[in-house]
Amino acid sequence: MQHIIDRFISYVTIDTESDPNSTTTPSTAKQWDLANKLVDELKAIGMEDVTIDENAYIMATLPSNVKHEVPTIGFVSHFDTTPDFTGANVKPQIIPNYNGEDIVLNAEHNIILSPKYFKDLLQYKGQTLITTNGLTLLGADDKAGITEIVTAMEFLIKNPEIKHGKIRVGFTPDEEIGRGAHKFDVKKFAADWAYTMDGSQIGELEYENFNAAGVKITFKGKSVHPGYAKGKMINSMLIANEFINELPKGEIPQETKGYEGFFHVTHLTGSIEKTDLELIIRDHNAKKFKKRKEVIQGIVKKINKKFKKQFGEDICIAEIKDQYYNMKEKVEPVFHIIEIAEKAMKDLGIKPLIKPIRGGTDGCQLSYMGLPCPNIFAGGHNFHGKYEYVPVESMQKAVEVIVKIAELTATTDFAKEKSKKKK
């Protein structure tokens, strides 16, 4: 396990935070630091056809070691970290043989990772945890996934008696800002299907995700002296507040779970004359997703009608952009790729947790680009913040799942027959 710990720490201590306001790919120059390291490491462990393009997309090949025809499978992870919380100067802490009690992340600032609040911790008593020092995120999302893929490829190279077909690996920038798959060359990757190693707790296997849209709304106002504002002033901030109050009650992230969708206000800045509001729409069901967009348009229409006479033009201008769709539609026709991953977990004594993703991954976009790509656990918890942690044993199990999937795909009639049916 020390090998996994060392590799993971070597990745997370490199700052790769992405930037949603950048127009370049990758969105930050510092992502190249880890990207170039990964290229060197893939070559060093013996991978072939290692490439990195002008946008920092990395691909590599582990050739087949069997003579019969085997589907080409892929494994994908992203190397950027979220801009929601700093990923600079990450100083991981190793907690061996976790005792189930509070973990002091930072004594000076009294930052504590407690099982009283984060109950999932109790699943990992007796295991080795890697945590933050309370001042940054950890970066297990998704450097745990990268660690697992590289380690699994290295294991297969060192153990040629384990039979496998051709395996492709891909590492992407900018997933955390929704662009991870945008410039991914599916044709060049040339896999029959792939898996993102980007889930959370051990056992997760996901092939359903949200349909997603982003909304930007501008509210116009009129500013006059407040002492003489009667019938004249229009405060755009109050109109934005009115808009928010019109959204369905209770349909917000903190009050929904499972397949329940939501509206989520993410940004609000304003003055009397102009207010900008941003929100996201999420729903697993395509019809409900469409309905949610119609709700936004309905509120916009209502507000414009109310102020049309006073303002003389539309006071509320909305832009709705779809971001990604539920991969279920693309995975179900090739459901054997889920069955193979499920069998791999069961063979390793892992209970599969097949559930919908309350979010999205590179895989959902790749699935619509022609590469069916469900998601497998990477082991981390509490992503995007100072309470992030990952059990080393979960990363080890993820490595074993990758190896087992490769083995099952190459050595079982089940996989070969399913592949023929697909063709």
Could you list the active site residues? Answer: 80, 175
In sequence order, which residues have a C-beta less than 8 Å from that of residue 403 and are 6 or more positions away? 152, 155, 156, 162
177, 18 contact by CB (below 8 A):
yes
Phi and psi of 367, rounded to 5°?
-60, -40
d(CA 363, CA 335): 15
SS3 label, residue 94: strand
d(CA 414, CA 421): 11
Question: Which residue stretches of 348-423 are H helix?
Answer: 362-368, 392-411, 413-422
Going from the C-alpha of 65 to that of each of 118, 189, 344, 416, the distances in angstroms are 44, 19, 20, 15
Secondary structure element (H or E) that encloses residue 280, with its range: strand 274-283
d(CA 320, CA 325): 14
ω into residue 40 within 30 of 0, thus cis? no
